[in-house]
Structure 1
Amino acid sequence: MIIQSTISLLLLLIQVPATALLLSRLLKGPRRYPPLEPQQPTPEMLGTVSVIVPTLNEALRISPLLAGLSRQSYEVREIIVVDSRSQDGTPDLVKAAQQKDPRFRVITDDPLPSGWVGRPWALHNGFLFTSPESEWFLGMDADIQPHPGLVASLVKTAAAEGYDLVSLSPQFILKYPGECWLQPALLMTLLYRFDPAGIHTEQPERVMANGQCFLCRRSVLAAVNGYSSASSSFCDDVTLARNIAAAGFKVGFLDGAKVLKVRMYEGAMETWKEWGRSLDLKDASDRAQVWGDLWLLSAVQGLPILILLGFLPLLPLPPLLPLRLLWGLNIFLLIIRFALLLAIAPSYDRKNARGGWLFWLSPLADPLAVLRIFLSAFRTPREWRGRNY
């Protein structure tokens, strides 16, 4: 009995302050900016946006992006695809799109210099080639599937809300059982650590961003020397956004589930390997923040399922107050987890997924998701998108 009480008290000391911090963030949710809706441009927006797409062997998934960008209206001045010497015919697909839409052009970036990661290097090269007449720089990944009216909606929202930089969370396309179970648990590690999408975050070190759809004033990007300050970051989007926020500019992260979709990785193993190793955001955070986030995730996401499963042999519970408080707290955390799962359901396209029902069992993957963040936090990537570093 004494051992059970002592362990319960220790776990309460770990979990109670983490739960209070989590609630302080989640309670901001009702004030968040609503999800973006597709919009039509207005005449003054003519030619105000330069779109940059970094590519490296993206032939199997870039076609929906090219088609979606062609459906954007006259606010898009140019679409520059910066290719890093793809070997699969990616540039040929862009050149074919150019025959139908002259806004497309493809350039090859310079050889990757020491100290740079491939993605920020390609985006930096693209920025240098954008027209100085464009007011906005829009970075987009090759796996994005934009809806008509996306770019107009982004620009109008940024102008109306006074943002110098705004990025969007997408709707994720799921196909296979493993990813339907694992991917929502990995996404939840972000939802627990940061303010909800649509809430303006005042602290630069807590700013969140998504480089898959990343709109920035060209003048602001020029003021910070393009992507130079994020040159060695494997999460360059968050690193750059935090640097821009620290320079005094207004940065926003909004819900874009109604204006763009993304098919990121094929299956659970690729999701675990590729996405999991950038979710720790260690390149954009100091060591204390990384450790603080690991404590929070362990306390409110990783432990509840394990603790509740551990309680099963003890039922009915003995009359020990610490034990009953711990049981109640973790039931409460599990209720929060399922409520958040319901809230993020519109952020997933599971219409054609095999085993889509496993999405609702993703809380059982939470200990694995937290473990993935731990593993990533203490490892420096040596290979990314086919490149060795």
Structure 2
Amino acid sequence: MTLLFRAVVAFLLAKLATLTVNLIQFPVLRTADCRTPADRRESPTVSLLVPMRNEAENLPRTLPAMLAQLGVTELVLLDDESTDSSSDIANALLDGSPIARVMVGTPPPPGWVGKNWACQQLGNAASGQLLVYCDADVLLAEGAVEAVVRELLRQCAEVFSVFPRQLTGSLGEALVTPLIDDVLLCFLPFGLLSADVPAAATANGSLLAFTRAGYAELDGFAGVRGEIVEDVALARHARGAGLRLGLALGGDLVRTRMYCGYREVVTGLSRGLLPVTGGSRLLLGAAAAWQLAAYSLPLAASVRQRRWLLPLALGVAERALVALKCDRARMWQAVLTPLSPIAFLPLAVQAMRRQQQWKGRTYS
């Protein structure tokens, strides 16, 4: 038990060290201080590209905000074989817009994951110097796209992505979805992103931008056509091609509620867990067990051994600092830290199944 205690404390201290660096270095999108029309004319042309499949509930909330973005040359949505009224809603909301249109997607060819094929079709149709892919559930605040362009240029990135602020509406969501930010900020020192380390290459498909030259170098999404976790695969593909990666947090400008309710969290997030562990169910199971040991065990063990209050406090401090960087209003959720690994277990079990279901499609 002493060895486990020391291992847990060392693990948490190492994560806190990385997190401390990222609290200082990791960029957060900000609105421009003051931009004149002349400044905007000098900016690159931007194609805002939105793949949509069964997004009827999200579009009335997110599409008007996309339409209101300054600096967007064209807004193109692609209906990826939706079985709901997504296309009708999108066309109604875009009615009269001179820069926006809805494309009808074609079925994915053999070997292509549906979203990757939808993005490839959008890229083929885009005319901008910058291609900005944005999921239909992402809510863009005023000036968000301009902030993305400015940060991409500042980082000299050819492939750039934003980790949106995660919005939650239920306890189950609050226990699991903030782990996305925790993994990013506690395992990837921002300075390592520019190093030639394949494991340090990452991206987020919620908002993913390419320069035209970078997109051409990668041949779009063709190199990751069969990948379920296409964003991370794209980042590693870009690293292998010698392209420069860029990252930022969405802050107040880019927000999303990825899943509505715990059941959707389990179904949605579990799709990507096994690919992240290289397809190893043993490694995934070991990771889930270690999370229990590092965050849940200290709460139970501290009842009898007060020394376990140290890792308990370190775990809570970690989640509080992540929230401080990403969303101050979520800091109170740090007290739920010991429960998060327990809520994560059904995701690990679901991820080990040979087939996954999402929006009417089956993934092996």
TM-score after normalising by structure 1: 0.81
Contact 1:165 1:216 survives alignment (8 Å): yes
Letter in 2 for 1:168: V
Q: What secondary structure sits across from 2:298 in the alignment?
A: helix
Q: Which 10-residue stretch deviates more, 253-262 or 365-374?
A: 365-374
Partner of 1:375: 349
Query: Is the radius of gyration larger for structure 1 or structure 2?
Result: 1
Question: Which residue among 191, 200, 215 is the counterpart of 2:193?
Answer: 200
Matches within 5 A, 1:156-235: 156-185=150-179, 187-192=181-186, 194-195=187-188, 200-202=193-195, 203-235=197-229
Question: Which residue among 263, 268, 283 is the counterpart of 2:275?
Answer: 283
Deviation, structure 1 residue 19: 4.3
Partner of 2:58: 61
Contact 2:45 2:72 survives alignment (8 Å): yes
**Structure 1 position 341 matched with structure 2 position 300:** no
CA RMSD of aligned residues (A): 3.0
Q: What secondary structure sits across from 2:95 in the alignment?
A: helix
Q: Which 10-residue stretch deviates more, 219-228 or 37-46?
A: 37-46
Letter in 2 for 1:178: G
Letter in 1 for 2:275: D
- Structure 1's 367 and 62: CA in aligned 2 closer, same or farther, altered over 3 A? same
Deviation, structure 1 residue 141: 0.4
In structure 2, the gaps of 5 or more residues are none
Q: Which 10-residue stretch deviates more, 11-20 or 169-178?
A: 11-20
Q: Give CA deviations for 1:36-92 in whole Å, capped at 9, x if unaligned.
A: 11224723445611111111111111122211111111x211111111122322112
Deviation, structure 1 residue 191: 4.2
Partner of 1:314: 304
Q: Give CA deviations for 1:212-237 in whole Å, capped at 9, x if unaligned.
A: 11111121111111101211111111
In structure 1, the gaps of 5 or more residues are 1-6, 318-326, 351-355
Question: Which residue among 78, 84, 99 is the counterpart of 1:88?
Answer: 84
Partner of 2:337: 363
CA distance in 2: counterparts of 1:56 and 1:105, whole angstroms:
16
CA distance in 1: counterparts of 2:44 and 2:194, whole angstroms:
30
CA distance in 2: counterparts of 1:45 and 1:298, whole angstroms:
53
CA distance in 1: counterparts of 2:239 and 2:105, whole angstroms:
28
Partner of 1:155: 149
- Structure 1's 64 and 388: CA in aligned 2 closer, same or farther, altered over 3 A? same
Runs of 4+ with deviation above 6 angstroms = 290-294
CA distance in 2: counterparts of 1:79 and 1:95, whole angstroms:
12
Q: What secondary structure sits across from 1:100 in the alignment?
A: coil
CA distance in 1: counterparts of 2:177 and 2:271, whole angstroms:
13
**Structure 1 position 103 matched with structure 2 position 99:** yes
Partner of 1:246: 240
**Structure 1 position 78 matched with structure 2 position 70:** no
**Structure 1 position 303 matched with structure 2 position 300:** no
Deviation, structure 1 residue 176: 2.5
- Structure 1's 297 and 35: CA in aligned 2 closer, same or farther, altered over 3 A? farther
Partner of 2:46: 49
Contact 1:233 1:284 survives alignment (8 Å): no
- Structure 1's 72 and 198: CA in aligned 2 closer, same or farther, altered over 3 A? farther
Contact 1:205 1:285 survives alignment (8 Å): no
Partner of 1:322: none
- Structure 1's 181 and 370: CA in aligned 2 closer, same or farther, altered over 3 A? closer
CA distance in 2: counterparts of 1:117 and 1:381, whole angstroms:
14
Deviation, structure 1 residue 30: 4.3
Q: What secondary structure sits across from 1:34 in the alignment?
A: coil
Letter in 2 for 1:283: P
Deviation, structure 1 residue 153: 0.9
**Structure 1 position 257 matched with structure 2 position 251:** yes
Count of residues paired in the alignment: 357
Partner of 2:131: 137
Deviation, structure 1 residue 386: 1.6
Q: Give CA deviations for 1:123-174 in whole Å, capped at 9, x if unaligned.
A: 011101111xx21111100101101111111111111221111111112222
TM-score after normalising by structure 2: 0.86
- Structure 1's 344 and 87: CA in aligned 2 closer, same or farther, altered over 3 A? same
- Structure 1's 198 and 152: CA in aligned 2 closer, same or farther, altered over 3 A? farther
- Structure 1's 357 and 216: CA in aligned 2 closer, same or farther, altered over 3 A? closer
Deviation, structure 1 residue 179: 2.3
- Structure 1's 45 and 303: CA in aligned 2 closer, same or farther, altered over 3 A? farther
